[in-house]
């Protein structure tokens, strides 16, 4: 067949079909027709055979009839005139004693999709609605929907609509479901069929007789129903409870969807429903069909957005099978990242570590970035694994690890020490531009702590001529500039060479422009350069110890059981970016940064009233949350010993009047603190009571450095004195607007502490009043 042109094929087939000898032999005739259909489904244009096929339609052989109808329905729209010839045969068949012939004729009459035939079709359709055989009624009901969509402009016949409503009580379940479908289509403009109480209850009562597909259809239609009373609602819910745990995933998903729509105001009920579907969803995750597995995984991700603890105990069900395709493995890893907790973190990381050496590079990279995500809460274990992977010295693994480390350091500044020491020497393994960009970014931000940073850069700059990626070149420019600011002696020479190359020889405009910008910036002087380049080193909007807040169910309820969740690419891990965070200074709420800038001369680095060398705050060396906790509790020593330690450290408590603080969002608080180099380490959510923030910084004044740990406490209107413990008695007025500040410093340095306190006060006063 493929060697014949379609014209030859058609000619050959026509010869066969019109050969009287063939026509007289039913078997040969049928096989000729088969050939036509075969050619048709292979994509050959056989429209030219229409008239021959019309003739073949008049037969008693049902199989032949069916074949011819397949052909006619495909080509009728091209031959409306010739199709008129068929209609007589079809109408005659509609009177046939055999219900199968009747339903076949009725179905194909409408499937011809010819508006001009509508007048011939209506009468058999009306008769079909009252046919004895259920299979004819099924076809007739849907036939009306087809007919309506053929002539959308035509009036809806109220009598037909009424008849269709009446057929909702048909004994045949498929006829009933088809009525629903037809009415939904016919009454689309009016917003679909009326779903009132009697219809709803009728449908619910017949749910048990329907097959899986019918149940799904009914459940979907019922989403529009609003129960009139709470007791009715609960009646419906308890009726549907059995299908919520149905072993058929379509029914389970449709029921849950209905649950979520019916009770948006009853979160407890919705959460209970989510708990109920856990079993069936997990079963679907282990289904033999990989597509079903994938769908279930995507929907589990939705559920986890609102109920992060839902699958915690079942994390092993999300371990990847060896032979599973990469896209399922990646989804499973995304789910695993969500499920991590103190009990399973060791097992999970062990499992994920195994995937990192997967033959499939995509899977390996996904596993590495999953470890990075877990690293945000369990940084030590994860960094250990990631550093170990660098030892493999494999190109794609090293690249993924460096990118992951970059993302991790951006949100967890306390990891930077480990990362810096791990970076040494991995530039030799890195080949792809993504990985090298990530390495350069890390060197730019933490270059002062990587011993070999200038040598690494030198290697890059020597090879810049052969560098193809403009992204790497631009990153290289920025990195060299930033390293120049903190290590001028080692980098001056290579910076000169790099700028020269990029300005004189580079052809990519973006790279050249950036080089020119830096060149001009350097001419403005070192102070200016430092000010422009001194970007931030970590994500400003992240609370370290708070997990992702649980979203309300309504956020995703409407996309549940649609194709939407399956389409969202690799999801959240991808949004954190395969691109390095920008080196620009973070764009704060404009009013906040204005206030800070205008006040900067007044307080920030040389607090008024303290005529001393200027006070600088610095974030490094970084303090891990565990370290902070140890130091904090250690300094809560009993007061008796305080005298002995007097020299070593000081504890200070102060109350600051600041109405905005407990109401402002964690993001803006952290952003504000970051601006003056105070690291917030942990905080409770906004509006929580008591509301706390832990923070630290290193105060440097005239070559002396002191670590300051701080706690902000706002206990709310009914402040509990015993709990606060260290308070020195309530202030008489405006107590609810005060934030208690507890500061601990080592070594003792009163002036620096006072200076810090004034900075802190100033920052707190600039906070925007954020009422959600």
Window 50-69: residues binding other proteins (CB under 8 A): 62-63, 66-67
**Which residues within the stretch 218-237 sit at the binding site for other proteins (CB under 8 A)?**
220
Check binding of 366 to other proteins (CB under 8 A): yes
- The SS3 assignment for 704 reads strand
Q: Across the strands, what pairs with 615?
A: 701
Q: Are strands 704-714 and 691-701 parallel, antiparallel or unpaired?
A: antiparallel
Q: Cα(518)–Cα(506) distance, rounded to whole angstroms?
A: 15
Among 139, 382, 515, 752, indicate the residue that binds other proteins (CB under 8 A): 139
Contact residues for 446 (Cβ-Cβ < 8 A; gap 6+): 409, 416, 419, 420, 537
Check binding of 354 to other proteins (CB under 8 A): yes
Tokens of 453: 């940073």
Check binding of 688 to other proteins (CB under 8 A): no
Please state the closest distance from residue 45 (CB atom) to other proteins, in A.
Answer: 10
Based on CB atoms, which residue is closest to other proteins, 243 or 727?
Answer: 243
Based on CB atoms, which residue is closest to other proteins, 566 or 608?
Answer: 566
Based on CB atoms, which residue is closest to other proteins, 10 or 285?
Answer: 285
Based on CB atoms, which residue is closest to other proteins, 33 or 699?
Answer: 33
Check binding of 327 to other proteins (CB under 8 A): yes
Pick from 264, 311, 322, 306: nearest CA to 284: 311
Pick from 125, 210, 197, 201: nearest CA to 163: 125
**Which residues within the stretch 76-105 sit at the binding site for other proteins (CB under 8 A)?**
77, 100
Pick from 157, 176, 173: nearest CA to 165: 176
Yes or no: say if 338 and 308 are a contact pair by the CB < 8 Å rule: yes
Among 32, 363, 414, 529, indicate the residue that binds other proteins (CB under 8 A): 363
Please state the closest distance from residue 216 (CB atom) to other proteins, in A.
Answer: 5
Q: How many amino acids of this chain bind other proteins (CB under 8 A)?
A: 87
Place of tokens 């999300």: 318
Tokens of 276: 């109920």
Among 7, 42, 130, 600, indicate the residue that binds other proteins (CB under 8 A): 42
63-80 residues labelled b (16+ CB within 10 A) or e (exposed): ebbebbbbbbbbbbeebe
The helix or strand, by DSSP H or E, that contains position 595, with its residue range, turns out to be: helix 590-599
For residue 724, what are the CA distances in angstroms to 621, 682, 692, 718? 30, 18, 11, 12
Check binding of 113 to other proteins (CB under 8 A): yes
Tell me the helix, strand and coil percentages in the chain, rounded to 5: 65, 5, 30
- The SS3 assignment for 244 reads helix
Please state the closest distance from residue 114 (CB atom) to other proteins, in A.
Answer: 11
CA within 13 Å, CB half, 664: 24
Candidates 316-324, 584-592, 676-684, 746-754: pick the segment binding other proteins (CB under 8 A): 316-324
Q: Cα(759)–Cα(605) distance, rounded to whole angstroms?
A: 8
Check binding of 196 to other proteins (CB under 8 A): no
Q: Cα(470)–Cα(187) distance, rounded to whole angstroms?
A: 57
Please state the closest distance from residue 245 (CB atom) to other proteins, in A.
Answer: 9
**Which residues within the stretch 397-456 sit at the binding site for other proteins (CB under 8 A)?**
none
Tokens of 594: 């204005």
Rg from Cα positions in the chain: 37
Based on CB atoms, which residue is closest to other proteins, 38 or 704?
Answer: 38
Candidates 294-302, 490-498, 514-522, 607-615: pick the segment binding other proteins (CB under 8 A): 294-302
- Transcribe 479-538 into DSSP letters: HHHHHHHH-HHHHHHHHHHHHHHHHHT---HHHHHHHHHHHHHHHT-HHHHHHHH---SS
The helix or strand, by DSSP H or E, that contains position 39, with its residue range, turns out to be: helix 26-41
- What is the distance between the terminal CA atoms of the chain, rounded to a whole angstrom? 70
Q: Cα(717)–Cα(739) distance, rounded to whole angstroms?
A: 11
Check binding of 292 to other proteins (CB under 8 A): yes
Based on CB atoms, which residue is closest to other proteins, 363 or 403?
Answer: 363
Please state the closest distance from residue 768 (CB atom) to other proteins, in A.
Answer: 39
Check binding of 330 to other proteins (CB under 8 A): yes
Check binding of 146 to other proteins (CB under 8 A): yes
Q: Cα(534)–Cα(271) distance, rounded to whole angstroms?
A: 47
Based on CB atoms, which residue is closest to other proteins, 135 or 408?
Answer: 135
Tokens of 263: 């009770």
**Which residues within the stretch 11-40 sit at the binding site for other proteins (CB under 8 A)?**
34, 37-38
Q: Across the strands, what pairs with 744?
A: 651, 709
Please state the closest distance from residue 85 (CB atom) to other proteins, in A.
Answer: 21
Check binding of 623 to other proteins (CB under 8 A): no
Check binding of 566 to other proteins (CB under 8 A): yes
The dihedrals phi and psi of 531, each to the nearest 5 degrees, come to -65, -40
Please state the closest distance from residue 143 (CB atom) to other proteins, in A.
Answer: 8
Check binding of 393 to other proteins (CB under 8 A): yes
Please state the closest distance from residue 200 (CB atom) to other proteins, in A.
Answer: 20
| Length of the chain measured in residues | 772
Check binding of 534 to other proteins (CB under 8 A): no
Among 107, 137, 406, 583, indicate the residue that binds other proteins (CB under 8 A): 107
Tokens of 457: 């850069």
Check binding of 213 to other proteins (CB under 8 A): yes
Based on CB atoms, which residue is closest to other proteins, 254 or 592?
Answer: 254
Candidates 205-213, 450-458, 692-700, 732-740: pick the segment binding other proteins (CB under 8 A): 205-213
Based on CB atoms, which residue is closest to other proteins, 392 or 526?
Answer: 392
The dihedrals phi and psi of 706, each to the nearest 5 degrees, come to -135, 140
Based on CB atoms, which residue is closest to other proteins, 292 or 469?
Answer: 292
Candidates 177-185, 683-691, 693-701, 746-754: pick the segment binding other proteins (CB under 8 A): 177-185
Check binding of 570 to other proteins (CB under 8 A): yes
Please state the closest distance from residue 129 (CB atom) to other proteins, in A.
Answer: 15
Candidates 21-29, 142-150, 445-453, 715-723: pick the segment binding other proteins (CB under 8 A): 142-150
Check binding of 362 to other proteins (CB under 8 A): yes
Please state the closest distance from residue 243 (CB atom) to other proteins, in A.
Answer: 11
Q: Cα(518)–Cα(540) distance, rounded to whole angstroms?
A: 25
Check binding of 472 to other proteins (CB under 8 A): no
Among 124, 128, 249, 662, indicate the residue that binds other proteins (CB under 8 A): 249
Yes or no: say if 768 and 664 are a contact pair by the CB < 8 Å rule: yes
Check binding of 174 to other proteins (CB under 8 A): yes
**Which residues within the stretch 117-136 sit at the binding site for other proteins (CB under 8 A)?**
135
Check binding of 737 to other proteins (CB under 8 A): no
Please state the closest distance from residue 62 (CB atom) to other proteins, in A.
Answer: 5
Residue 82 Cα to chain centre, angstroms: 53
- The SS3 assignment for 617 reads strand
Based on CB atoms, which residue is closest to other proteins, 244 or 739?
Answer: 244
Check binding of 563 to other proteins (CB under 8 A): yes
Check binding of 286 to other proteins (CB under 8 A): yes
Among 388, 547, 601, 730, indicate the residue that binds other proteins (CB under 8 A): 388
Based on CB atoms, which residue is closest to other proteins, 204 or 245?
Answer: 245
């Amino acid at each position: 067949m493929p060697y014949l042109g379609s014209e030859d094929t058609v000619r050959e087939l026509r010869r066969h079909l019109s050969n009287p000898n063939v026509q007289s032999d039913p078997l040969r005739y049928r096989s000729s027709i088969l050939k036509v259909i075969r050619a048709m489904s292979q994509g050959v244009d056989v429209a030219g055979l229409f008239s021959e096929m019309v003739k073949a339609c008049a037969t008693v052989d049902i199989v032949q009839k069916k074949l011819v109808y397949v052909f006619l329905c495909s080509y009728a729209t091209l031959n409306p005139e010739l199709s008129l010839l068929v209609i007589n045969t079809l109408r005659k068949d509609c009177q046939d004693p055999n219900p199968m012939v009747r339903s076949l004729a009725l179905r194909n009459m409408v499937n011809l999709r010819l508006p001009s035939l509508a007048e011939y079709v209506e009468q058999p359709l009306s008769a079909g609605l009252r046919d004895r055989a259920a299979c004819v009624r099924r076809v007739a009901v849907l036939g009306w929907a087809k007919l309506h969509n053929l002539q959308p402009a035509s009036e809806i016949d109220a009598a037909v609509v009424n008849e269709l409503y009446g057929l909702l009580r048909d004994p045949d379940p498929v006829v009933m479901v088809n009525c629903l479908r037809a009415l939904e289509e016919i009454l689309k403009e009016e917003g679909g069929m009326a779903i009132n109480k009697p219809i709803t209850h009728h449908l619910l009562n017949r749910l048990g007789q329907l097959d899986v597909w019918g149940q799904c259809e009914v459940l979907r239609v019922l989403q529009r129903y609003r129960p009139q009373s709470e007791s009715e609602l609960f009646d419906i819910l308890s009726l549907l409870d059995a299908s919520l745990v149905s072993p058929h995933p379509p029914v389970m998903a449709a029921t849950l969807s209905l649950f979520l729509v019916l009770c948006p105001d009853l979160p407890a009920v919705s959460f209970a429903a989510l708990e109920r579907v856990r079993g069936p969803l997990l079963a679907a995750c282990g289904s033999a069909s990989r597509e079903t597995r994938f769908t279930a995984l995507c929907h589990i991700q939705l559920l986890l957005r609102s109920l992060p603890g839902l699958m915690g105990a079942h994390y092993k069900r999300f371990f990847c099978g060896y032979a599973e395709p990469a896209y399922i493995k990646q989804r499973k890893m995304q789910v695993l990242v969500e499920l991590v907790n103190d009990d399973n973190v060791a097992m999970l990381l062990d499992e994920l570590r195994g995937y990192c050496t997967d033959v499939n590079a995509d899977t390996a990279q996904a596993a590495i970035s999953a470890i990075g995500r877990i690293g945000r809460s369990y940084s030590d274990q994860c960094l250990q694994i990631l550093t170990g992977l660098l030892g493999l010295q494999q190109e794609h693994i090293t690249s993924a690890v460096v990118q992951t480390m970059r993302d991790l350091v951006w949100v967890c500044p306390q990891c930077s020490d480990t990362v810096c020491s791990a970076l040494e020497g991995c530039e030799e393994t890195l080949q792809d531009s993504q990985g090298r960009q990530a390495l350069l970014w890390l060197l730019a931000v933490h270059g002062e702590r990587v011993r070999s940073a200038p040598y690494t850069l030198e290697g890059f700059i020597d090879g810049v001529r052969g560098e193809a990626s403009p992204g790497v070149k631009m990153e290289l420019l920025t990195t060299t500039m930033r390293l120049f600011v903190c290590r001028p002696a080692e980098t001056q020479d290579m910076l000169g060479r790099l700028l020269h190359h990029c300005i004189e020889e580079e052809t990519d405009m973006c790279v050249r422009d950036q080089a020119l910008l830096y060149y001009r910036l350097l001419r403005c002087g070192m102070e200016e350069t430092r000010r422009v380049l001194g970007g931030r080193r970590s994500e400003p909007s992240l609370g370290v110890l708070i997990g992702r807040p649980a979203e309300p169910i309504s956020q995703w309820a409407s996309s549940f059981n649609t194709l939407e969740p399956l389409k969202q690419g690799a999801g959240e891990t991808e949004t954190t970016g395969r691109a390095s965070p920008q080196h620009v200074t973070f764009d704060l709420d404009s009013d906040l940064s204005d206030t800070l800038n205008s006040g900067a001369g007044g307080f920030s680095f040389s607090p008024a009233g303290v005529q001393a060398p200027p006070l600088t705050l610095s974030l490094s060396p970084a303090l891990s949350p565990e370290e902070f906790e140890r130091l904090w509790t250690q300094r809560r020593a009993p007061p008796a010993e305080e005298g002995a330690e007097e020299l070593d450290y000081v504890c200070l408590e102060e109350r600051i009047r600041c109405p905005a603080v407990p109401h402002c969002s964690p993001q803006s608080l952290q952003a504000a603190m970051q601006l003056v180099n105070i690291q917030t380490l942990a905080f409770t959510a906004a509006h929580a009571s008591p509301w706390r923030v832990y923070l630290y910084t290193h105060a440097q004044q005239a070559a002396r450095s002191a670590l300051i740990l701080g706690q902000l406490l706002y206990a709310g209107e009914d402040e509990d004195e015993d709990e606060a413990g260290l308070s020195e008695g309530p202030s008489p007025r405006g107590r609810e607007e005060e934030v208690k500040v507890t500061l601990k410093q080592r070594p003792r340095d009163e002036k620096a502490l006072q200076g810090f306190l004034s900075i802190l006060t100033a920052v707190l006063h600039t906070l925007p009043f954020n009422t959600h």
